[in-house]
Amino acid sequence: MSRRDAAALVRTARVRQGLTWAAIAQALDAPLVRTTAALLGQHPMSAEQAETACALLGLEDAVAEALQQQPARSIDPELLQDPTIYRFSEALAVYGPALKELIHEEFGDGIMSAINFKVDIARRAHPDGDRVVVTFDGKFLDYRW
């Protein structure tokens, strides 16, 4: 079974079981965003995590096996048709060059790791409507020439 097919089954089973992503992450004792990404095929899961998730969701062993495979990451052009994902890409298109310059100014010549990395999402109340707060927390990796 492909990771994409496994992800589709996970999405359907989550809704069918009436579970939130947070409830699944809690059952796995794992970070919310990383767990959700793993269940959507973007990170490998340990055998124990995959088996626990599939038991919770009522999914077969083939799904657990797919969730343990190392993903081949690429940007699927279909993703950019989703309004939320498009807004993230738009934000990076607008602010990415500025963030790069500011990282270089503050840290020197290097990049932010997306491997030694944490991401979190939160809601912040605001009088004009609630705010979405996304935090990227990546280790700075200096270029070593």
Residue 21 in any domain: the answer is yes
Domain boundary among 19, 37, 67: 67
Both 8 and 61 in one domain: the answer is yes
Domain boundary among 37, 67, 97: 67
Q: Which residue in the list 48, 60, 90, 101 is annotated as catalytic?
A: 90
pTM of the predicted structure, to 2 decimals: 0.79
Residue 104 in any domain: the answer is yes
CA distances from 104 to 29, 80, 107, 110, 120 (A): 36, 28, 5, 7, 23
Residue 72 in any domain: the answer is no
Q: Are 24 and 39 in contact (CB under 8 A)?
A: yes
Both 94 and 133 in one domain: the answer is yes
For the segment 19-56, what is each residue's pLDDT rounded down to a tens digit? Answer: 999 999 999 999 999 999 999 999 999 999 999 999 99
Look up the domain containing 128 and give its range: 77-142
Both 45 and 12 in one domain: the answer is yes
Q: Which residue in the list 11, 60, 113, 131 is annotated as catalytic?
A: 113
